[in-house]
Every structure is written in C-alpha cells, then in structure tokens.
Amino acid sequence: MKGLFQKISAILMAFILMLSTMSFTVSMHYCMDELVDTSFFSKAEGCGMEMDADAIEMNGCCDNHEIKLEGQDELKLPVSDLGFEQQLFVVSFFYSYNELFQVVEEDVTHYFENPPPLLVRKIYKLDESYLI
C-alpha cells in the first residue's frame, strides 16, 4: 500500500511540474459575435471573409482573441536567497525525512535470552565414548 501511494504521488507531482512549466496559447476567431474557430498552440483560421485590416476595422464583423498562459522558466530557487534559519530548516528536514526510510538490520541472537542448561557431569565421560 505504501509503495502504491508513493508511485501515485510521484506521478501526480511530475504531472503538476509539467503543467506549471508549459506555456500555451488559445486563439479564437469570432465572426459577428459567434465563435467560428478555436486553436491551441497556433493562430485560429479566419471565417473565409478575406478583407484587409482597414476593412475589418471599419466593418467590425470579425474579431480575434488570444489567451496566453505563460509557464515558469526557472524552477530552481537560488540557495543564496535563503537565510541561515531557512537553510538550517531545509537541511534538518531532508536529513530527518531521509532517516525515516533507512532500513535498520538488527542482529537478533536468541541465545542471550535463554542461557544453556548447567551441566553437572560431563556426559561423554559417563558413557565412556570418546571421539578418536
């Protein structure tokens, strides 16, 4: 469950980063106050009324609108702008966050908890069997 949540959040953050850095333009062409053409990333085509600029201004039947959304150019904030307290906070945050995911391998020894039984006599001497 934890791995799935991390994958979903990573994809979501990558998508947000992509949308915040992308710039695009929506171009719309109106003819007699009706939307004739809409275009993303390029200029909208006209309604077919081929007139020069002076005739359009006088007649006033055609109108072009553009909506521009500018994305971020710089994503990296300079560290020199941060104060000492902010730098200390960032370093301590990353250190503590990194320590959350460290795998700690402990050597588990069970014989310290359960000591061996005390021997009163040596068994190999009682049975008189010796390894040669």
pLDDT of residue 23: 83
**30 has pLDDT over 70:** yes
pLDDT of residue 87: 87
Buried b (16+ CB within 10 A) or exposed e, 29-48: bbeeeeebeeeeeeebeeee
pLDDT of residue 11: 94
pLDDT of residue 52: 54
Q: For 68-101, how does the pLDDT look when each residue is reduced to its tens digit (9 = 90+)?
A: 888 777 666 666 778 889 889 989 999 988 888 7
**132 has pLDDT over 80:** no
Q: What is the mean pLDDT of residues 48-63?
A: 61
